[in-house]
Amino acid sequence: MKKIFLLLAIYMIFSYNQGFAGVISGKVHHDELNNKNTIVDSKTQKALSNAKITIPELNYTTFSDKDGTFRLNADVSDKTVLFVEKEGYKVFSLTIDNSVLKSPLKLGIEQTNPFDMQITEGIIHLGDNLFSDNSANSTDFRLSAKGHYLSQKFKRPQGSDKHNVVVNIGTIIGLDTKDAKERGQNQIAKVYSSPAEVFVNGHKIGKLTLNGDNQEILIPNSILKENNELIISTGRNLFQTEYIDYDDIELANVRIEVKEKQYYARH
């Protein structure tokens, strides 16, 4: 009887190990399969080869192959910014976290409009480097803050008389506003910050209350000059009265774009 129990125990250990090994290899297989991501032209859906894919905060760079596919062999845990760059196309940026490893990405990138202007390169951290681990930012910003606002000059884009000019915030991470908190974008229990604000030539043209990609703000034609200044200013913790605690945020891929007028009429 004892022998049978022993054999049973050995069998159970053996099958447990087998099962365990099966789970691991299954997971690797799953990731490899789903890690095959694609870059396409957003209009034609044609696969695009040799697009450069980077995750600056992880020092990760790869290129799409001849079928437009790429694997993301990066250890993505916290929220961070993924960029796609290709000549003739607008810089594309996307907020990613570890969920990107669960399903394949199909990223459509848009051809450059000759009047569009790229305002920022890489990732810009605004704030004061004081932030909670529960904030909506990546838990460990790799870049130290460049101050609480960004200021960039830009020329009036051609075609601005007939078309709308917008500021496009490619990606924003880390806003700890009331809206961001209510949408579950952070884990902070009580406090929140005022929104980030966007100014052109001293006029407030909009505010950013939610994290995400491709947020557009219209620049009223009446305030555009030949030479313009764009300011994006981060908010403040509204519950800290003893000192100013700026909301630590990451901005990427800010562009000035010229759009068809109907675009805004429809929305």
Q: Does 130 bind Ca ion (CB under 5 A)?
A: yes
- Residue 148 CB, nearest approach to Ca ion (Å): 9
Taken in order 119, 125, 126, 132, the sign of the CA dihedral is positive
Q: Does 176 bind Ca ion (CB under 5 A)?
A: no
DSSP per position, 225-265: -SEEEEEEE--BBTT--SS--BPPEEEEEEEEEEE-HHHHH
- Residue 174 CB, nearest approach to Ca ion (Å): 9
83-96: b (≥16 Cβ within 10 Å) or e: bbebeebbbbbbbb
Of the listed pieces 40-48, 54-62, 183-191, 243-251, which binds Ca ion according to CB under 5 A?
243-251
Considering only 176, 245, 250, 257, the residue that binds Ca ion (CB under 5 A) is 245
Instruction: Give the closest residue to 28 by CA, choosing from 101, 106, 104, 105.
Output: 101
- Residue 149 CB, nearest approach to Ca ion (Å): 14
- Residue 247 CB, nearest approach to Ca ion (Å): 6
Q: Which residue is nearest to Ca ion (CB)?
A: 130
Q: Does 248 bind Ca ion (CB under 5 A)?
A: yes
* Bridge pairing between strands 52-55 and 80-85: antiparallel
User: Are the C-beta atoms of residues 42 and 109 closer than 8 Å to each other?
Assistant: yes
- Residue 255 CB, nearest approach to Ca ion (Å): 26
Considering only 131, 154, 192, 199, the residue that binds Ca ion (CB under 5 A) is 131
Which residues of this chain interact with Ca ion, rule CB under 5 A?
127-128, 130-131, 245-246, 248
